[in-house]
Structure formats: C-alpha cells, structure tokens
Amino acid sequence: MTTHEGHNPRPALDVPESNRTALGLYVTPEEAYRMATAESERVHILDVRTFEEYIFVGHVETAKNIPLVFPRYDPAGPSMPGRPPGCSGELNPDFVVKVKEAVGPDDTILVMCATGGRGAMAVNMLAQAGFTRVFNIVNGLEGDRVDDPGSVYHGRHMRNGWKNAGLPWGYDFHPDLMWVTPAE
C-alpha cells in the first residue's frame, strides 16, 4: 500500500518492490526536498549510504549521514556477490541509537540511499524501534540505471532519483552531519 501525506495530491507513487517498507510511507525526491525545506527543524533527511559514498559520490548538503552498512575488505574474509574477494558489508551496530540521538521521536525522517533499497531496510529497522513517521525517498540520490543497451548512458544511474531531478547536492564537508571521529 502506498500512502502519502502532503499538500499536493498526486497519483500513487510507483514504488519498486525493493524500495517498499513496513510503514508504507514514500516520497519522491522533489517532495522530500519541499518537505525538508519547508520545515527544516522537524523534517530530517537521513542519508544511510556508506561514508565513502557520502564523500565521493556527493550528498544532499542538509542531510545527516548515518551509515546503515560499512564496507569491509579483508583478504581472508567473506565476499558479497559482485564484489572482489574479501569485500563485504557490515551492519552498523549503532544505527538506531545514532538516529535516536539525532532526531526527535515525533519528527519526520526522510530516508535516502543510492537507489532506495538500503533506505527501505533502514526504514524497517527504525519502524521496529518505534519510529512511525519515516518515509523512504523513492529511487534515492543516484536513481536507477538506464536500461537501454542502445543508449550511451546504458548502465549509468541516470534514470530517476534526487540528482537526476535537478535538486541541489554537493561535495562540501559538514562535520556535524558526517560520520567522523576526531583526528588523533
């Protein structure tokens, strides 16, 4: 089921299976941008991608980065499908705790990842922890890949999502919003 809370009624979103959540709350990137801009104190964009994606691929400059998963590489360790030997991911054990520290219990959270899949996992974890107003930003920051072998952009993340909607993003560092530790 797709529900939507907003001022501008529009047809139900076509939410990909991988993006669906237990809460059934979804927004497009454009809607997320409008909601977060209109009420920045109580509406938070939460970027659950890895720290490395946040800094190298770029990010929404007002988003808080709390990674859901950390990349790992250990030559003797496990591998994920499609990754080199030893490359895997490890769930952030502090994910929910850190979100609770960053966000009020009645605030609205707009969750973003690269294409909406990890975002859905994150929404479900937050729902289990008692959050109720957690929307998944459908298609995420980068959006899906073009699926047209005849296109020079075949395989690139140029189909939908935040960046392709022409919404603002950047590479600047905002330590208060980043998953960082103090330098030794």
Partner 1 sequence: MIAEHPIETIAPARQTSLGLYVTAKEAYDMWQADPGLKILDVRTPEEFVFVGHAPMATNVPFALQTYEWDPEKKALRWELNPEFVAAVQAWAAPDEQILVACRSGGRSAMAINMLAKAAGFTNAWNILDGWEGSQVKDPESVFDGMRMKNGWKNSGLPWTYEIDPDRMTLPPRQSRTFVAGNEHD
Contacts with partner 1 by CB under 8 A lie at: 50-53, 55-58, 66-67, 70-75, 82-87, 92-94, 98, 101-102, 114, 152, 155, 166, 170-173, 175-176, 178-184
Residue 56 vs 151, nearer CB to partner 1: 56
Q: Are 109 and 101 in contact (CB under 8 A)?
A: no
Of residues 12 and 153, the one with the C-beta less far from partner 1: 153
Q: Output the smallest distance, CB 105 to partner 1, in A.
A: 19
Cβ atoms of 103 and 82 within 8 Å: the answer is no
Cβ count within 10 A of residue 26: 26
Residue 21 or 92 with smaller CB distance to partner 1 = 92
Distance of closest approach, residue 47 Cβ to partner 1, in angstroms: 13
CB nearer to partner 1: give 20 or 163: 163
**What are the DSSP calls for 58-75, one per residue?**
-B-TT-EE--SEEEEE-T
7 to each of 10, 36, 38, 39, 63, how far by Cα in Å?
A: 9, 14, 12, 13, 22
Nearest distance from residue 183's CB to partner 1, in Å? 4
